[in-house]
Amino acid sequence: MKIAIAQLNYIIGDFEGNTSKMLKSVEVAKNQGADIVAFSELATCGYPPRDFLEFDDFIRRADESVEKLKQASRDIAIIVGTPTVNPVIEGKDLYNSVLFLYEGEEKFRQHKTLLPTYDIFDEYRYFEPASEWGVVEFKGKKIALNICEDLWNIGNENPLYTINPMDEVIKYDPDLIINVSASPFDYNQAKKRLHVLKANVDRYKIPLFYINHIGAQTELIFDGGSVVMSPNGKIFNEMTYFKEEIKTFDLDEVMKNTRSVEQPKDKMALIHDALVLGIKDYFGKLGFKKAIIGLSGGLDSALTTVLATEALGNENVFVLMMPSQFSSKHSITDSIDLADNLGIDYEIIKIEDIYTEFIEKLKPIFKDKPFNVAEENIQARTRGTLLMGVSNKFGHILLNTTNKSEMAVGYGTLYGDLAGGLSVIADIYKTEAYQLAEYINRDDQIIPCHIINKPPSAELRPNQYDSDSLPDYDILDKVLYEYIEKRQGPKELVAMGFDEKLVKRVLRLVNMNEFKRYQTAPVLRVSEKAFGVGRRVPIVARYLS
């Protein structure tokens, strides 16, 4: 038996496009001699469809996609994930299902049992869990079909769940497992995924075929990396990361395999590739081509510009340099050097006269009050207004350049530097931004060294540095990581050795600036806990205040 894995990039709600892509993949699989071609979780509609699932028309169109796939299954079996209607009155209206289609008919369906409702997942909002399990027999083999999370409770050890679906299915003595998934990327997920898959194979002693999505859906990025694992726990094949691929595997060869083939998983390489794909798909799936960025001469805007250029091409990236009287000479020369290195177009608009006009108009209200954050924010908002003006005039999408450290503590101006349609690097801390710059410059100096080496500064007042108002990033990022990713409270952080006053100050900054994050563009998710849909805390609260 030969099994083809179709690792594809879907668009949520694009039933015609998704179905056409799958039908073309069926023909490719046939040409490769496959007996089965497997697509991923909710492949008909894309993942995650969220509240689109509440529209009857959305489900009807998913069903129409399945009917077209049935017609293509005359001489090859097709495995596909799709939402299906729950025929009984009790429970949720839908199931998250995987179907086995052959000879123009649906031969078997298995519903998802374990419905993740944590971090970015909210599946129990829509789906009823499975209560029955079985196998499908095909060409002399019994196949266990399951969906993503149903493999993530090996030995019933996951405290989120009370059942292990594979323990129920194994009673039917399956010969292999085919799992269809939509497993979002974070920089640790690929390693965790392999660990979970190996634990299943070690427990059940049968080969496993694991099919994952690739592509970005707004803030969520899917990395692919579909896996074929032999019954001895060896990785027979780990498919390409961040790219579409269709590959056919001979089950006999998988059974006899004695070696492991695993791709390298360098953190910065993964983050880099994920962010490039995130930008590319955000623009491509929305039908936009060109990005505009405010290039300041700092590291964060430089990183965002490089990533956008890789994703969209240098002809589709335009930058504005907007120096004020507080900007250093290097800020402009460094920005020009970067733009020249990338071959992108730029314009320089000096904002001192615009800023001065604002201050003159506000003088009767400001009176003799000393210079403070108000004057700083006027500069940031002036730049934001200019960027959005160009964005509106030419149909460019403005990219937000804020990093996670700044986003966490509110070191950014609403309607100023926090403006934009997509927050590109807001899930990487400042210390990680330096590591990413080093990765980008691994073969050639794309980002000028002075941008990387100079002390970070917003340049909104004379001789300003980030360290004037924030702890050093080496310390700040450690506190933020423990609080945000690891959910450690003040007592735990002090017990780790962090200064108590520092902890209280940092946590207060994070919590009091939640209102800014609610109004900021979607954040491309590359960590286990990104700002956005995966981290939900109230704006108005007194915890840790």
pLDDT tens for residues 333-342? 999 999 999 9
State residue 404's pLDDT score.
98
Exactly one of 21, 70, 148, 404 is catalytic; which is it?
A: 148
State residue 331's pLDDT score.
86
Residue 398 has pLDDT above 90, yes or no: yes
Q: How far is CA 217 from CA 83, 94, 176, 399, 419, in A?
A: 18, 22, 31, 17, 20
State residue 155's pLDDT score.
80
464-483: pLDDT as tens digits: 777 777 889 999 999 999 99
Query: What average pLDDT score do residues 416-427 get?
Result: 96
Tokens 């499908």 -> residue? 136
User: Is the distance from CB of 280 to CB of 311 less than 8 angstroms?
Assistant: yes
pTM of the model: 0.96
State residue 141's pLDDT score.
98
Is 148 among the catalytic positions? yes
Helix (H) or strand (E) holding 105: strand 105-111
216 pLDDT band, cuts 50/70/90, is: very high
254-292: pLDDT as tens digits: 999 999 999 999 999 999 999 999 999 999 999 999 999
State residue 198's pLDDT score.
97
Of 323-332, 364-373, 523-532, the range with the lowest mean pLDDT is 323-332
Distant-in-sequence, close-in-space partners of 451: CB < 8 Å, separation ≥ 6: 297, 298, 299, 302, 334, 338, 437
* Range(s) of the chain covered by CATH 3.60.110.10: 2-261
State residue 156's pLDDT score.
78
- CA–CA separation, 373 vs 76, rounded Å? 66
Residue 494 has pLDDT above 90, yes or no: yes
Burial class (CB in 10 A: 0-12, 13-18, 19+), 535: middle
The CATH class of 2-261 is alpha beta
Q: How far is CA 388 from CA 447, 484, 491, 523, in A?
A: 25, 31, 43, 19
158 pLDDT band, cuts 50/70/90, is: confident
State residue 284's pLDDT score.
98
Exactly one of 112, 198, 285, 516 is catalytic; which is it?
A: 112
Supply 29's token pair. Answer: 């699989």
- CA–CA separation, 296 vs 290, rounded Å? 19
Q: How high is the mean pLDDT of the chain?
A: 95
State residue 262's pLDDT score.
92
164-174: pLDDT as tens digits: 999 999 999 99
Query: What average pLDDT score do residues 38-62 get?
Result: 98
Residue 545 has pLDDT above 70, yes or no: no
User: Whole-angstrom distance between the N-terminal and C-terminal Cα of the chain?
Assistant: 61
Residue 463 has pLDDT above 90, yes or no: no
Architecture of domain 270-466: 3-Layer(aba) Sandwich (3.40)
Per DSSP, the residues of 289-349 read: --EEEE--SSHHHHHHHHHHHHHH-GGGEEEEE---TTS-HHHHHHHHHHHHHHT-EEEE-
User: Is the distance from CB of 246 to CB of 7 less than 8 angstroms?
Assistant: yes
Is 112 among the catalytic positions? yes
DSSP state of 520: S
- CA–CA separation, 535 vs 487, rounded Å? 11
Q: Determine if the peptide bond prior to 364 is cis (ω within 30°).
A: no
* Range(s) of the chain covered by CATH 3.40.50.620: 270-466
497-522: pLDDT as tens digits: 999 999 999 999 999 999 999 999 99
**Angle of helix 299-312 versus helix 267-286 axis, rounded to 10:** 60
Of 242-246, 308-312, 324-328, 510-514, the range with the lowest mean pLDDT is 324-328
Exactly one of 41, 149, 310, 432 is catalytic; which is it?
A: 41
Residues in the chain: 545
Is 500 among the catalytic positions? no
Percentage of residues in the chain having pLDDT higher than 90: 91
Q: How far is CA 8 from CA 97, 103, 166, 188, 243, in A?
A: 18, 24, 26, 22, 8
The CA-CA-CA angle for residues 315, 316, 320, to 5°, reads 100
Q: How far is CA 175 from CA 142, 252, 404, 469, in A?
A: 5, 12, 46, 62
Q: From 182, 181, 198, select the one nearest 260 (Cα to Cα).
A: 198
- CA–CA separation, 530 vs 404, rounded Å? 9
116-141: pLDDT as tens digits: 999 999 999 999 999 999 999 999 99
Q: From 206, 72, 66, select the one nearest 135 (Cα to Cα).
A: 206
